A and B are shown apart, each in its own frame.
Chain A
Amino acid sequence: MSYSRKDLTGMIDLTKDEILHLLDTAEKFREINHRDVKKVPTLKGKTIVNLFFENSTRTRTSFEIAGKRLSADTINFSASASSTAKGETLIDTVHNIEAMKTDIFVVRHAYSGAIKFIAENTNASVVNAGDGLNEHPTQSLLDMLTIKQHKGRLDGLNVAIIGDITHSRVARSNIWAMPRLGINLRLFGPKTMLPRCTSPFGVKVCNNMEEAVDGADVIMTLRIQRERQGKLLLPSVKEYARYFGLNAARLKLSNNAIVMHPGPINRGVEISSEIADCPQSVILPQVESGVAVRMAVLYTLGTGQRGGE
Chain B
Amino acid sequence: MSHGKEILSCEEMAGMITRMVFQILESVRSSGNFGIVGIKSGGAVLARRIADEIAKHSGKSPDVGYLDITLYRDDLAQTQIADFPLVQGTEIGFDVAGRHIILVDDVVFTGRTVRAALDALTDFGRPSKISLAALIDRGHRELPVQPDYVGKSVPTSLSECVQVNFRETAGADSVCIIKK
Contacts and interface: CB of A to CB of B under 8 A. Distances in A.
* A/B contact in complex, CB under 8 angstroms: yes
Interface of A: 2-4, 24-25, 27-29, 31-32, 35-37, 39-42, 70, 296, 299-300, 303-306
Contacts of B71: 32, 40-42, 70, 299
A299 B80 contact: no
Contacts of A29: 87
B81 interface: yes
A32 B79 CA distance: 23
Interface stretch (B117-125, B147-155, B163-171): B117-125
Interface string B57-76: 00000000000101111001
B72 A31 contact: no
Contact of B89 (A28, A35, A70, A300): A28
A37 B80 contact: no
A35 B87 contact: no
B94 interface: no
B77 interface: yes
A28 B123 CA distance: 16
A40 B117 CA distance: 12
7 contacts: A24-B86, A41-B119, A299-B71, A303-B76, A303-B77, A304-B81, A306-B81
Q: Rank and list the top 8 A-B pairs by shortest CB-CB distance, nearest first.
A: A28-B89, A304-B81, A40-B71, A28-B87, A303-B76, A42-B71, A37-B123, A4-B81
A4 B81 CA distance: 6
B123 A31 contact: no
B128 interface: no
A304 B124 contact: no
A40 B123 contact: yes
A36 B120 CA distance: 12
B15 to A, nearest CB: 35
Contacts of B123: 35, 37, 39-40
Interface string B117-143: 001100111000000000000000000
Contacts of A299: 71, 87
B91 interface: yes
B156 interface: no
Q: Interface residue tally of chain B, by bracket?
A: 20 to 34
A25 B91 CA distance: 15
Contacts of A36: 124-125
Contacts of B119: 41
A304 B84 contact: yes
Contacts of B23: none
Contacts of B68: 28
A25 B70 CA distance: 11
A40 B124 CA distance: 11
B158 interface: no
B97 to A, nearest CB: 9
A300 B84 contact: yes
Contacts of B88: 28
Contacts of B84: 2-3, 300, 303-304
A34 to B, nearest CB: 11
A31 B90 contact: yes
B1 interface: no
Contact of B82 (A4, A40, A70): A4
A223 B70 CA distance: 38
B79 A37 contact: no
Given A2-B84, A41-B119, A304-B84, 13 more contacts: A2-B82, A4-B81, A28-B68, A28-B87, A28-B89, A35-B124, A36-B124, A39-B123, A40-B71, A40-B123, A42-B72, A296-B87, A303-B84
Interface in B25-58: none
A31 B124 CA distance: 12
